[in-house]
């Protein structure tokens, strides 16, 4: 599938056959009532959906302006939105009679979600994780191992998410028995559309919940963007509601002017990365190293649908620095008793910036994509 000029399959010929097999199975699964019922069963009874839409009264009063609602994906089993997609793809792998699942992870939340569902369905699990990310997210590394996964620490490149994806694709090319469970809305087709399909439950629920609580649609919705799975999940059901402003928030790191950031849109270069055409961080024809305090946003590209949504002007993409994200992390923790992931803290920070643009009777929804237990060592070292 292509999104305008973005997306596609830019992969070696030997990988195309495997992708076509997955695409065919996914297309059939979407029409299979039994598959869909099983997916919904696990979302409700195992993940704990629907996740609440919480009115952050204290944060709203501090910031002023529109009411700030939080879509509480941090309350899902495993502590983030990643489990929605992991459940969907593991059921697809099971349908394809695969017994070995591989995955990449940055912040560790997708790795934990994948290890969790592999444990649930008794499948062999191998997680590729950059050595630097493994150092930053040691708690999640131990959780994956406890769940029975083999964690392969990747030492190539900057030893972060991009390098873990490279390693996973190389492994996939060499092994016929594996299913690659990609965690973000990136990669060659059909992965971006699969991830969106399994994450769109976030936006579907949020729309129903806000209509019930406020009797009208929100004025704005906000989510952080690395590869872009939590954001495309929230955005999906609101894309044709043109009165709703949509904001995607990338990681500005130490500041866009320093070069130490993860904003593919700021770089404004289109290229090929991990089998897709999209906006990437690129200099002199080479992929530039990304940086963010948040391991989950430390990625030099963005999902192809996000690239398309930027080009057509439906979504406004902006960025938030490390310092702003950390301040939002502390603010939400102290005001609401909710410890957010550093990824989600970027979206919280942006909501705090723009809430005053709107009236007090208006509402905005922020996707709280994950909880911050995994980031406590990073925060403690800063403090």
Residues carrying an active site annotation? 82, 104, 369
What the block records as the tokens of 330 is 């502390």
From CA 87, how far away is CA 39, in angstroms rounded? 7
Cβ pair 316, 247 in contact under 8 A? yes
**Rounded-to-integer distance, Cα 380 and Cα 296, Å:** 18
Residue 119 makes CB contacts below 8 A (sequence gap 6+) with 125, 147, 148
* 3-state class (DSSP) for residue 343: helix
Task: Output the furthest CA–CA distance in the chain (Å, rounded).
Answer: 57
Q: Which residues pair with 70 in a beta bridge?
A: 54, 366
Residues 6+ apart with CB under 8 A from 93: 101, 123, 179, 181
CA dihedral 103, 107, 113, 115 (to 10 degrees): 60
For β-strands 67-72 and 53-55, DSSP reports them as antiparallel
36, 54, 137, 204 from 248: Cα distances, Å: 29, 20, 24, 18
Two structure tokens written together for 15 = 């990988």
């Amino acid at each position: 599938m292509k999104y305008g000029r973005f997306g596609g399959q830019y992969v070696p010929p030997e990988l195309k056959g495997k992708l076509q097999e997955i695409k065919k199975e996914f297309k059939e699964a979407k029409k299979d009532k039994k598959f869909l019922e099983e997916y919904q069963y696990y979302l409700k009874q195992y993940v704990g959906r629907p996740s609440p839409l919480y009115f952050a009264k204290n944060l709203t009063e501090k910031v002023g302006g529109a009411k700030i609602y939080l879509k509480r994906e941090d309350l899902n089993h495993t502590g983030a939105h990643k489990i929605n997609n992991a459940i969907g793809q593991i059921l697809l792998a099971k349908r394809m009679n695969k017994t070995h699942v591989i995955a990449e992870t940055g912040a560790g939340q997708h790795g934990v979600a994948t290890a969790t569902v592999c444990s649930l369905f008794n499948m062999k699990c191998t997680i590729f994780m950059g050595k630097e990310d493994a150092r930053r997210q040691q708690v999640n590394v131990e959780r994956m191992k406890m769940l029975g996964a083999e964690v392969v620490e990747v030492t190539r490149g900057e030893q972060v998410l991009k390098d873990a994806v490279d390693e996973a694709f190389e492994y996939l090319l060499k092994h016929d028995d594996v299913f690659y469970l990609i965690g973000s809305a990136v990669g060659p087709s059909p992965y971006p559309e699969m991830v969106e399909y399994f994450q769109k439950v976030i936006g579907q629920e949020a729309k129903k919940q806000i209509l019930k609580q406020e009797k009208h649609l929100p004025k704005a919705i906000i989510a952080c963007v690395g590869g872009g799975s939590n954001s495309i999940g929230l955005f999906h059901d609101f894309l044709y509601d043109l009165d709703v402003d949509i904001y995607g928030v990338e990681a500005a790191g130490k500041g866009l002017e320093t070069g130490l950031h993860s904003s593919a849109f700021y770089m404004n270069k289109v290229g090929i990365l991990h089998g897709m055409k999209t906006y990437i961080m690129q200099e002199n024809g080479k992929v530039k190293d990304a940086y963010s305090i948040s391991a989950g946003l430390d990625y030099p590209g963005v999902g192809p649908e996000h690239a398309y949504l930027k080009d057509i002007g439906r979504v406004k993409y902006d960025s938030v620095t490390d310092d702003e994200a950390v301040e939002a992390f502390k603010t939400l923790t102290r005001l609401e008793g909710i410890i957010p992931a550093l990824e989600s803290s970027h979206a919280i920070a942006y909501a705090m910036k723009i809430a005053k643009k709107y009236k007090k009777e208006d509402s905005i929804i922020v996707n709280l994509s994950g909880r911050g237990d995994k980031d406590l060592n990073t925060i403690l070292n800063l403090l």
